[in-house]
Each structure stands twice: as structure tokens, then as C-alpha cells.
Amino acid sequence: MADATTNPTNTGLTTADGKPLKAALAHAQARSRRRAFLLVLPLLLFIVITFIAPIGQMLKRSVYNDGFTVQKNLTTGEKTPIMVNLAKWFDENPAGTEPDEAAFAALVEDLKQLKETRAAGQAGTRINYELSGSRSLFTQGARKAKKLQPPYKEALLELNPKWDDPKLWQVMRSASSNFTGTFFLAATDRTRDADGNIQRVEENRQIYLKLFWRTLKLSVLITVLTLILAYPIAHLLATLPLRYSNLLMIFVLLPFWTSLLVRTTSWMILLQSQGVLNDAMVAMGLISDGNRIQMMYNQTGTVIAMTHILLPFMVLPLYSVMRPINPSYVRAARSLGATSWTAFRRIYFPQTIPGIAAGGLLVFILAVGYYITPALVGGSDGTLISNLIAFHMQKSLNWSMAAALASLLLGGILILYWLYDRLVGIDNLKLG
């Protein structure tokens, strides 16, 4: 910047080229901010494209489903409205109105259109998400819609009595709007009755809340087990001379260099009924050959395998906190009369709390979203909510349901993150 001089006609400071010093400084700062923004712009775009945009799409998908209202041509991408007549009847008649002849006439006209556009399966699938057996109902109705004669209500009921089910009409009314909270209700084991009131589903159909609870319980257990195992390991690494601790750290980091699938498959070999562990216990006489312990395809296998896989994520934060702790603090406490337990409890342990909290947060977040290990070693008893999300994404193709479950899981993680910030402070987060 040019040297500042005093303008004889103005008491304010100016630069050598006559510009006011204040304006020149503001311009320089603005240029510096623009330069800094351009430097971080690629990273910002990367985060938006790979992180924020997918989460936004997921949140939208959890409340948006147009399978009952729009038919999309996969070749041209053109969207054609379907079920238009029935949607109009729903708009003109409030919820709880019993379907009359006009409603069935509108339904028949829409079924004819579904036959022409080959969208009967799509519309039926959307209703089938909430009322099982609906897909075949729609495909059958679309095939025979052109042959139906008025009165349409009697004709449809003669074709299939399910068309008079009040629950079916309530579901169709809900699906006639692209935006719906139905999938969040289903994700919490709730539904709407024929009158639109929210109620819990039958006990034998309540699966999602049980899976959420199982996921929470196992994730907490795995977090506690990793802490119990990682604390002495991290303490040993932090107190040993650097040349020895670096050597041992290689063994801690070794799992990161091994495929997750390989590690999980190894545990399957170790834990199965005819596996290494059971064979060793039989050989030592601890159990008989006929009483081998079942450690596969249940929660036991899930906990053991995930604890081993997630252990390094607890060791590293603890080590990063323990390493800078001056050992003279504990020696001073003991020289003043404190026992080893008292010195550990009141001097050493409080200084490691940020590492415990960081490791616990990291392990817990990874555990609630784990998929491969529970899928391979957990079986039906060790299935977590992430496995059900994958099922809806890959098998049932109910992406809205998968998005609703994932959104609830994301909300729980954000609450946990908020609690961590309130209790420990995010500034104290140390991950190694």
C-alpha cells in the first residue's frame, strides 16, 4: 500500500494517490476476504455437493413421494399426472366422507388411464407401502377398468370387495398429496385409521422402534466395551518411551490397513459353532462337543466383532489426550499422601475426560450406522436399524421409508452432538 500522507485541503489521512486511507483499507480487506473465499471455494463446493445436497435430498424424500400422482417416462423424462379425477374428488370432499358413486366413477376413469400409461403397478406400489396387498388390487382393476359399466361402485365391489375398505380410501387420500408424513409415522410404528386419526400399529407389526432401541442399546454397550479395553492400551502407549509406543501404535493402526470385509469374515471363522474359539474351548475341556456356544448370527457376534473393529477409534482420542499429561502431577499427589487410586481418580482421570467423550462420541456414531458387520455376523437377532434402511433401499425400493428412518437416525445423532457440546464442549473435542 502507498504511504499515507496528509491532504492539505482535508484533515483526513489519504494514500499517496489521493484516496482516503479508510476507504483504501476497506478495499484491501475486501480483496483479502475475496481471495480467502476463492481459496476455500473448492472445499465448500465439495461439501455442498457430497454432503449437504445428499442430506437435503434425503430429508425431502422422507416427506415427498409422487408415486400415486405422477408417472415419469424413463426414456424422455416427461411427467404425466395420474389419478387426477380421484384427487379432484378428494379435494372437493373433506376427510371422513364416505366414497359415493362419483368417487368410484373417478376411480374407474383413473384406472383406465393407469392401464394406458402402464402405471398401475407404480400407483399400487405406493399404496402397498401402507396397506399390503394393494398392488395386485390396482393392477387387476386397471386391466378390467374398460369393461366396467355403471353403477361403478357395484361393478368394482363385484370385481374385488377390497375397494370398499375405508382404510384403502384413507390411504389413497393421503397418497394423493405428494408431501406426506406417513413415512415418519410408519418409522415410529404408527399409522392412521380410517378416520385419519394417528394410532399405534398392532404389536406383532411393531418393528422399527424395537430396532431403534436395539441399535441404541448395542451401540452404548459397544462404546462402553471399547472404552474399557482402550483406556489401559492408551495409557500404556502414553507412558512408554516414544520408541516403544510408536512400535505398539502400529498394531493399533494395523486394522485400518486391512479390509473391513476381511476382518468381519475372520470373526465369522472364529465365532462359528465349529470355529476356532469353540474348538479351543472343547479341546481345553471347558465345554463339551455337544454344548458348543452359539456366537454367530446373534447379538453376541455383533458386539464382539464391532468392538474389535471400532476399538482403534477409541484408542486414538484417548492417546492424544493422555500423551501431554505430565506424570509429575500423579507423583506429586502420591507424595502428598494420596493413594494410587485417589491420585488416579482425582488427578489423572479428570484430565482424560475430553478424550473419553471424543472417543465415545466417535464410536457411538459409527456403531449406530454400521451395516456390513451386523449384516454378516448378526443374523436376525443382531440386525440394526442400518440394515433395515439398506433393505428398504435395495430390496423393497421404498426409498421414502428408508429416508424417514435415516432422518430419525440423523436427528438422534444431532441431539447427541448437542448434548456433547453442552456437557463437554465441542472445543474440547480431540480425535488424535
Q: What is the pairing mode between strands 198-200 and 70-72?
A: unpaired
Q: Provide the percentage of residues in the chain whose pLDDT is more than 90.
A: 52
* Integer Cα distance of 410 and 405 in angstroms: 9
Predicted pLDDT of residue 275: 86
76 in helix, strand or coil?
A: coil
249 in helix, strand or coil?
A: helix
Predicted pLDDT of residue 319: 93
Q: What torsion, rounded to 10 degrees, do the Cα atoms 166, 172, 177, 178 define?
A: 140
Predicted pLDDT of residue 190: 92
Residue 417 has pLDDT above 90, yes or no: no
Q: Which residues is 192 bridged to in the sheet? A: 198
Cβ atoms of residues 348 and 332 within 8 Å: no
In terms of Cβ atoms closer than 10 Å to its own Cβ (0-12, 13-18, 19+), residue 64 is middle
Range 65-82 average pLDDT = 85
For 196, the grid coordinates are: 385419519
Going from the N-terminus, what domains does the chain have, and what CATH number goes with each? 5-63 (no CATH), 70-205 (no CATH), 208-428 (1.10.3720.10)
Q: What's the one-letter identity of residue 317?
A: P
Predicted pLDDT of residue 242: 84
Q: Which of 216, 132, 203 is nearest to 168 (CA)?
A: 132
pTM: 0.84
Tens-place pLDDT, residues 134-166: 999 999 999 999 999 999 999 999 999 999 999
Predicted pLDDT of residue 70: 93
For the chain, helix (H) and strand (E) counts, in that order, are 20, 6
User: pLDDT averaged over the chain?
Assistant: 88
Predicted pLDDT of residue 430: 56
Predicted pLDDT of residue 91: 93
* Integer Cα distance of 93 and 100 in angstroms: 11
- Measured between its terminal Cα atoms, the distance across the chain in Å is 42
Cβ atoms of residues 368 and 412 within 8 Å: yes
* Integer Cα distance of 428 and 263 in angstroms: 32
Residue 4: HSE in the Cβ half-sphere, 13 Å Cα cutoff: 10
Tens-place pLDDT, residues 228-255: 999 999 999 998 888 888 888 888 888 8
